[in-house]
Structure 1
Amino acid sequence: MEPENNSNTTPACWWVNLPETDYQRALDLQLAVVAAKTTGRLDADVILSVEHPRVFTLGRRGGRENLCVTDDFLAEKGVSVMPTDRGGNITYHGPGQLVVYPIIDLNRRRLKVVEFVSGLEQAMIRTAGHWGILAGTDPANRGVWLDGDKLGSIGITVRRGVSFHGLALNVNTDMEPFGWINPCGLNQVRMTSLERHLNGPVAMDVARHEMAAHLAAVFGIALTTVSLEQLYAEIEFVGSGI
């Protein structure tokens, strides 16, 4: 990916690949980037790409009521539950799931929230299309769907015009934990993955590359790949390390 021409009106956009990262640590990093942007210390937009250890996250509308197993069961399985301030209800993150957090100044890019969310859906659809999978949207429910099953989810927050949280695309995700919840608060919804439809695993580095390319195309931006260490230095991040 080539660097973007950074003009006075359009910020650069950095793509940062993280290793598998604890959900709270990744959230701390998102919040640090948001703070750097809203205070003017960081001009560039940032898109974080990551996988998380097994965790259920709750949205602003709650979600614990859609958890179908006990806390003791989750402790035995090594799955934590985290409240968040993103939109949506309960969802699951785990290894093999591509999670992308676009920290974007929507005002500077002249993006309405509904346009931004639709763009995230399109990026997931196009990423799935790389493997010949014809996913789509559902007018009644956000996210990306395939033959009636949910392939990808979206939940964002916007603070002073800057987005964070983001999307989760099931690539090689273990489907079992989704059976312990009503995903996104929806009853009788089955989740699926690229691996399930292809009857074999997908290379995560290819999935990350495709997602980056399609986000760039959908939103008309060029991405510069930046290391995590470079991002830390730019925002003077001193929180828990990744």
Structure 2
Amino acid sequence: MQQIKLLDLGIKNYKETWDYQETLFQSTIQLKIENRKNNTNDKTPNYFIFVEHPHVYTLGKSGDINNLLLTETQLTEKGIAFYKSNRGGDITYHGPGQIIGYPILDLDNFFGDIHKYLRFLEEVIIRTLAEYHIKGERSEGETGVWLDVGTPFARKICAMGVRTSRWVTMHGFALNVTTNLGYFDHIIPCGIRGKAVTSMEVELNRKIPFKEIKAKILKHFKELFEVEFN
């Protein structure tokens, strides 16, 4: 089984966390380059970061800035940060009440298939939601986890966006748990018009301890990816 170092950063600024991810990401890539150059086989590390961010909008590298519906002045007035990110996907919101997971994995330790990786991430969340009797689903062509796909009530509960280089991953998923969904009103989430967002609290009409949900996420991640956390 592959070993993954689990890092729970608590509440941390988006840019600081991004920089931290980049450090781990680039060091793993550099080790792979050195292995190839020197014909060595030093083991590459794998990481899984849990974090919760203060209010922030992030725009993916292929995103459209017009999907942000606030001016710079309005962002400042509302106390919301904004960053253009190097992940995939369009615009999304991160804030209090979200469980965010950033796996930094060398997929050469697992499988060389980005689409499979994304489907596995979705499956981790789908299985976690199922433990609370929430039926999470995939929506064709729309990465992430949704509810009531194919109906007028389709709504997203978990956004995803990743970056990969030399089969090393960074960024990841954001599961709405007790998120204030009003912050999504200031963007066109993921660039998809006419679809709503939701949270576990809204769907269940109750709060669930983050610690409990995180434990279930790790359990399903461990099963699907066949890993041990340390």
TM-score normalised by L of structure 2: 0.90
**Residue in 2 aligned with 1:180?**
186
* Residue 89, structure 1, aligned to residue 90, structure 2: yes
SS where residue 108 of structure 2 aligns?
Answer: coil
Match of 1:156 among 136, 154, 162: 162
Report the CA distance shift for 1:223/1:111 in structure 2 as closer, same or farther (over 3 A): farther
Task: Measure how far apart 1:218 and its partner are.
Answer: 1.4
The residue type equivalent to 1:146 in the other structure is: L
Whole-angstrom distance in 2 between the partners of 1:163 and 1:44: 12
Report the CA distance shift for 1:157/1:180 in structure 2 as closer, same or farther (over 3 A): same
Match of 1:39 among 24, 30, 34: 30
Q: Is the 8 A contact 2:44 2:106 kept in 1?
A: no
**Residue in 2 aligned with 1:16?**
7
* Residue 145, structure 1, aligned to residue 146, structure 2: yes
**Residue in 1 aligned with 2:34?**
none
Q: Is the 8 A contact 2:201 2:207 kept in 1?
A: yes
Higher mean C-alpha deviation, range 93-102 or range 123-132: 123-132
Whole-angstrom distance in 2 between the partners of 1:202 and 1:15: 22
Whole-angstrom distance in 1 between the partners of 2:49 and 2:16: 12
Q: Is the 8 A contact 2:112 2:167 kept in 1?
A: no
SS where residue 196 of structure 2 aligns?
Answer: coil
Whole-angstrom distance in 2 between the partners of 1:63 and 1:216: 35
**Residue in 2 aligned with 1:49?**
50
Q: Is the 8 A contact 1:56 1:92 kept in 2?
A: yes
Report the CA distance shift for 1:108/1:42 in structure 2 as closer, same or farther (over 3 A): closer
Unpaired segments ≥5 residues, structure 2: 32-41, 149-153
Q: Is the 8 A contact 1:15 1:223 kept in 2?
A: yes
1:32-65: CA deviation from partner (whole Å, max 9, x where unpaired): 1112212228732001011000000010112321
Q: Is the 8 A contact 1:36 1:42 kept in 2?
A: no
- Count of equivalent residues: 215
Which protein has the bigger strand share? Answer: 2
Whole-angstrom distance in 2 between the partners of 1:197 and 1:111: 36
Task: Measure how far apart 1:205 and its partner are.
Answer: 1.0
- Identical pairs, percent: 33
Whole-angstrom distance in 2 between the partners of 1:122 and 1:111: 18
Report the CA distance shift for 1:42/1:165 in structure 2 as closer, same or farther (over 3 A): farther
Whole-angstrom distance in 1 between the partners of 2:50 and 2:43: 19
Q: Is the 8 A contact 1:12 1:43 kept in 2?
A: no
* Residue 103, structure 1, aligned to residue 94, structure 2: no
SS where residue 169 of structure 2 aligns?
Answer: strand
Whole-angstrom distance in 2 between the partners of 1:146 and 1:136: 6
**Residue in 2 aligned with 1:119?**
120
Please tell me the root mean square deviation across aligned C-alpha atoms, in Å: 1.3
Report the CA distance shift for 1:73/1:117 in structure 2 as closer, same or farther (over 3 A): same
Query: Within 5 A, what are the aligned runs for 1:162-173?
Result: 162-173=168-179
Q: Is the 8 A contact 1:15 1:212 kept in 2?
A: no
Unpaired segments ≥5 residues, structure 1: 5-10, 225-242
Whole-angstrom distance in 1 between the partners of 2:29 and 2:122: 26
The residue type equivalent to 2:27 in the other structure is: A
Whole-angstrom distance in 2 between the partners of 1:128 and 1:78: 31
1:155-181: CA deviation from partner (whole Å, max 9, x where unpaired): 000012100011111111110010111
Match of 1:27 among 10, 15, 18: 18
Q: Which runs of 4+ in 1 moved over 6 A?
A: none
SS where residue 129 of structure 2 aligns?
Answer: helix
**Residue in 1 aligned with 2:80?**
79
Q: Is the 8 A contact 2:160 2:174 kept in 1?
A: yes
